[in-house]
Amino acid sequence: MKVAVLDINGKDTGRTVELNKAVFGVEPNEHALYLDVKQYLAHQRQGTHKAKERAEITGSTRKIKRQKGTGTARAGSIKNPLFRGGGRVFGPRVRSYEQKVNKNVKRLARKSAFSLKAKQKSITVIEDFQFDSPKTKSFQAALSALGITDKKSLWVLGAPNQNVYLSGRNLTSTEVLTNDELNTYKIMNAQHLVLAESAVAAIEANLSK
């Protein structure tokens, strides 16, 4: 699949890049996409939630009333979960939400995500560029030139670029990453992908293994 290479002003450079069919032209595997996205979202959970149960509450263990003859249910201590200030029954405990997904499944999921975006014609390839200084205005001008101002876009660079990253940081509908930071969730969550030429080569080298 050939894609025209644009510059940062949205103009055709006259060059094209051939997207590898082994990465951008596979049959999307929905189950692999599901597993990889589910793992990413699960890993966003800290798992530090905790509620004190009956044994962890500070309080007297004195029997607060006699066993029989009160007309109410028996109660052994003030830490009873039925009383205000008592322990919680089966409360949340600290746990890990980590899930395991095999490398081959994750690789297939990313290929599937790229292939879906390619099929939807939601990929733009631009030549590597620089900003002289971090300016949100410069990034907004680039979005306008590429015609994706009203879309949630993901910009993938071949190498870290502080000025480009800082320029797009304040825009809620835009995210700037390097190819090393890519994951299936971010690809699928974006409406349009903007790939730098160097990023395309790195992505294909990584996913063609």
Any idea where the domains of the chain sit in the sequence?
A: 2-40+100-207, 46-96
Question: What pTM does this model have?
Answer: 0.83
Q: Is the pLDDT of residue 209 over 80?
A: no
Predicted local distance difference test score (pLDDT) of residue 61: 86
Instruction: Note whether 88 and 52 are within 8 A (CB).
Output: yes
Q: What is the DSSP letter of 88?
A: P
pLDDT in tens, 56-109: 999 888 999 999 999 999 988 999 999 999 999 999 999 999 999 999 999 999
DSSP H helices, 10-102, are: 21-24, 30-43
Q: What percent of the chain has pLDDT above 90?
A: 87
Cβ of 83: how many Cβ atoms within 10 Å? 14
Predicted local distance difference test score (pLDDT) of residue 31: 97
Q: Which CATH architecture has domain 2-40+100-207?
A: 3-Layer(aba) Sandwich (3.40)
- CA distances for 33 relative to 6, 30, 122, 193, angstroms: 29, 5, 18, 17
Which pLDDT band, with edges at 50, 70 and 90, does 1 fall under? Answer: confident
